[in-house]
Amino acid sequence: MIQKMEFGRTGHMSTRTLFGAAALGRVTQAEADATLDLLYQYGVNHIDTAASYGEAELRIGPWMPRHRKNFFLATKTEKRTYQEAKEELHRSLEKMRVDSVDLWQMHILVDPDEWQTAMGPGGALEAFIEARDQGLVRYLGVTGHGVTIAEMHMRSLNRFDFDSVLLPYNYAMMQNQKYAADFKALLAMCQEKKVAVQTIKTITRGPWGDREQNRACWYEPLEAQADIDAAVHFAMSQPNVYLNTVGDIHLLPQVLDAASRFQPGSEAAHEEKLANLSMTPLFV
């Protein structure tokens, strides 16, 4: 089984690997249902999806009548105004066949102008607070990609007391000294505020470039089990962070297998292994 720890201040003991439901965006319901069986096999109890993840919310919907109580359920919106965000939340609830979600997140909030809209009068933040007050969501978060996102998350946390953040974390990304410094500063802030830190792009080898895109991920992933082990264990060696699983259901078993075998204390070995894999950052 995979280790659990309290998800920020929520009180929920989430597995350190959260199921990244982007992997369900372009699969059949039968494939989605087989993925549910895999999650139960490894004890994964936290689902992270988004309105923009293709048909993922629709694929989760048939699970919920029987399994809602077994999962911490999170979704996201890229809408930046009050009305648009409110309407999208209701669509998400309808698709997933639930009355509420545990966590609602402002997705990919990186652009400064979009940030001003979302956080300003008539912005999405007003819809987020209202939804929480109405019991449609329990907790609120913010997510993003790119080399500026750790800094932007700190700005968001200074503006509002969010319950979680989500951002990239892998060996290649942490070779960027500015990003590494910002990530560490954000992590310290989140530990002080008891904010959950979710990480993504764990097994990224690099951009696809000219290579054939033969996986559901928009980046080229690591595929050998030993390489996935090193990448997953590198991420899990960072205390107090969660790993959102890969966006390809066919690689998911390897990621969960690696996570189930994680043992702390071998960080240097993971870094040495990853340094020899010719990994390149997605974001520069």
Bridge partners of 23, per DSSP, are none
List, in order, residues 6 or more apart from 276 with CB less than 8 Å away.
none
Question: Which CATH topology does 4-275 take?
Answer: TIM Barrel (3.20.20)
Q: Give me the pLDDT at residue 255, please.
A: 98
Give the tens place of pLDDT for each residue, 169-214: 999 999 999 999 999 999 999 999 999 999 999 999 989 888 888 8
Q: Give me the pLDDT at residue 266, please.
A: 67
Residue 151: name the closest of 190, 185, 105 by CA: 185
Domain borders along the chain are: 4-275
* CB 73 within 8 Å of CB 98: yes
Q: Which two tokens stand for residue 265?
A: 């204390």
* CB 110 within 8 Å of CB 145: yes
Share of the chain above pLDDT 90, in %: 87
pLDDT reading at 247 higher than 80: yes
pLDDT reading at 57 higher than 90: yes
List, in order, residues 6 or more apart from 81 with CB less than 8 Å away.
117, 118, 122, 123, 124
Instruction: Name the residue with higher pLDDT: 268 or 201.
Output: 201
The identity of residue 208, as a single letter, is W
| pLDDT, mean of residues 5-24 | 98
Mapped onto helix, strand or coil, the DSSP state of residue 107 is coil
Q: Give me the pLDDT at residue 211, please.
A: 83
Name the pTM for this structure: 0.96
Q: Give me the pLDDT at residue 218, please.
A: 82
- Measured between alpha carbons, how far is 231 from 201 in angstroms, rounded to an integer? 10
Give the tens place of pLDDT for each residue, 62-92: 999 999 999 999 999 999 999 999 999 999 9
Please give the helix or strand (H or E) that residue 259 lies within, else none.
helix 252-260
